[in-house]
Amino acid sequence: MKLPVPMTMGQIAGFVGGKAWTPEPQKPDDVTLTGISTDPLAAQEGDIALVIDKQLLARLDEIKATVVIVPVGTENAHPHRPLILVERPKLAIQKICTALAPKRFLPAPGVHPTAVVDPTAEIGNNVAIGPLVVIGPQTKIGNGTVIMSGTIIGGKVTIGEKCLIHPGVLIADYVKIGNRVILQQGASIGSDGFGYTTATPANAELLMAGVKDLPDTRNPLLKIPQIGTVIIEDDVEVGSNSTIDRATIGATTIGAGTKIDNLVLIAHNCQFGIDTIVVGHTAVGGSCTIGDRSILAGGVLFKDHVKVGKDVIIDGSSAVIKDVADRSVQSGIPAVPSREHFKGLAAVRRIPKVMEEMRELKQRVTQLEKLLLEKQLIEPAADTKNGK
């Protein structure tokens, strides 16, 4: 990728907050860069590359980029090449991508002619409403918010200031959204939670109670009206095609600063703390509580009514079926403390070797039994021969 304009090593070090390292007599302002490489191993002269992976750091001599952004301390092993040293490599990525971000094609402030805005809706200053947007009655949109094409917003919705709502988002009635919230394409906020009951005990209830003689007749599922709402606090981002269900009663709440990836399901009445991270394909069952700054990695599944403490990490593809204490790292199905989980995996890998050892021991025991039996037969015969 080409830089917008050629830049010196010193300029780039400045805006990423790093320290330029050059071998003598070279100076940072003597090194000019024209591109940034997405693949360090494919970088060419004139490129800058970012290397944070330990395996790539071990191959730094193979990278042909003119300058490499690396963690502090790398200069000790590579004193003869230009480096930009940073304390937090991912923060350097954030700053580079922010500086090089292309212009987005957002709708201009105002209401597009094809948008349908209810006369009772309140639209703030400098709000941009794109093509084919629908905004329901008594909804309030805060100053500077951008609503892109095809978004549908229900009635009595409150949306704060400087939000960015991408195309095709669905926001149901009564939802409350804070300031600077980003909703990516196709996000669905405030759909009904999944709640049903039956007039008489269902066969599943009877089976769990130990009843074996189950009726073979219909027992219709009766929908429980979901009369609650969703509250999304300030600075939250919700990824594409993720769903946050409204509460049965009360509110499903997403705490300030939380970031939710694509294809995530958050069921009714969940409560998320501040600055949590939810990675794609995670599904959180109803009435779960997730503590502040917790990280739910990809594909994690949660049983209903689970409580997760603060600063918890749940590894990818885990299944959480019971409460998790503060500052815990858990893995597996069902999720247990990660050290315990990986010790169990190591034990499982040893099973073939243990089984082989057991077979060998069994053969040796059989041989010993045979020898003992032979000895018992020989000794009485010898005693008889000796007249005993």
| Amino acid at site 367 | Q
Structural tokens at position 189:
């906020």
Active site residue 268: yes
Find out whether 231 and 249 touch, Cβ atoms under 8 Å: no
Distance CA 18, CA 210 (A): 66
Map tokens 């020989």 to a residue: 378
Q: Exactly one of 268, 281, 305, 341 is catalytic; name it.
A: 268
Map tokens 């010898």 to a residue: 382
- State whether residue 74 is helix, strand or coil: helix
Comparing CA positions, the residue from 85, 88, 95 lying closest to residue 20 is 85
Neighbouring CB atoms inside 10 A of 34's CB total 15
Find out whether 235 and 211 touch, Cβ atoms under 8 Å: no
CA 118, 119, 120, 125 torsion-angle sign: positive
Partners of 237 in the β-ladder: 182, 259
- State the maximum Cα–Cα separation within the chain, in Å, rounded to a whole number: 123
Phi first, then psi: give them for residue 75, nearest 5 degrees. Answer: -60, -25
Residue 150 C-alpha from the chain's centroid: 27
126: left (phi over 0), alpha (psi -120 to 50) or beta: left
C-alpha distance across the termini of the chain, in Å: 101
Find out whether 353 and 341 touch, Cβ atoms under 8 Å: no
Structural tokens at position 261:
């990836």
* Catalytic residue ranges: 268
